[in-house]
Amino acid sequence: MVGDWRINIEGLDPGVSALVGVSGPGGFNRTLTASTTLNGLRQGTYSLRANPVAHPGLPFVRYRPTNPAEGSSLGVEVGGANLPVTAVRYTRIPGRLRVQVEGLPAGARATLRAIGSFASSDFALGNGEQRFNLEAGRYTLEWPRLPDPGGRGNWLPDRNNFNVDVPSDGEADAGTVRYTLEPNPYRLNLNVRLRGGGASSLSPKVCIQPADTVQGGISPDAEVPDCLFR
């Protein structure tokens, strides 16, 4: 007697081929790369084993079988009244990302936006070394500007985006991102009035000198033209 056997392969991303070996009575041996139905099989017990695979375009992204688990096999009875359907399941193996953040004011947390091949995530990061799990894949990392908690301006990263490959069962290093404060622009409005005879013929010159102690975002070291007594 003969029988049919349906094998469904799940969990792989588009373009990724499975590696599933099937063996059975009469020297039957077949390697499957996708879901299929095996027809006209001799009745008996068949063995199925799934093996790890890698993404063809991103070879650092790997997939591990979970049913049957890696290194194990399934025994399936085929033939007669038994028409089995077997699900072979894979999972994408995750990785990790490391990044160092510097320059933020105390207590502030900047957003890291990780836009990946298969998943995207946002993380709130403070100063220091950070490590976290990510789906394996190719990522663009974006650091948006951070408004200053005190309203003085915006904290800007020294790079707006960065590309990194996160490998399965491995760690990618995104390096160090440093933040500096871009102060809000300041404007000073002056209304100069001249009094006395001949005032209309004068051409006044007004100089602004930063004080030693400044409230706001003007640096005491700002360069000021020397126009006094001229």
Please answer whether residues 7 and 39 qualify as being in contact, where contact means their C-beta atoms are separated by less than 8 angstroms. Answer: no
The full set of domains in the chain, from first to last, is 2-92 (2.60.40.10), 95-183 (2.60.40.10)
Question: Which amino acid, residue 27?
Answer: G
This prediction's pTM:
0.76
Distance CA(226)–CA(209), nearest Å, equals 9
**What's CA 178's distance to the chain center, in Å?**
18
Instruction: Read off the tokens for 33.
Output: 């790369």
Dump pLDDT digits (tens) for 126-162.
Answer: 999 999 999 999 999 999 999 999 888 999 999 989 9
* CA pair distance 121, 108, nearest whole angstrom: 19
Which residue is associated with the tokens 């033209």?
Answer: 225
Cα separation, 207 vs 226, whole angstroms: 8
Q: How confident is the model over 25-82, as pLDDT tens digits? A: 999 999 999 999 999 999 999 999 999 999 999 999 999 999 999 999 999 999 888 8
172 and 135 Cβ atoms separated by less than 8 Å? no
pLDDT score for 228 = 46
| Dihedral sign computed on CA atoms, order 209, 215, 221, 224 | negative
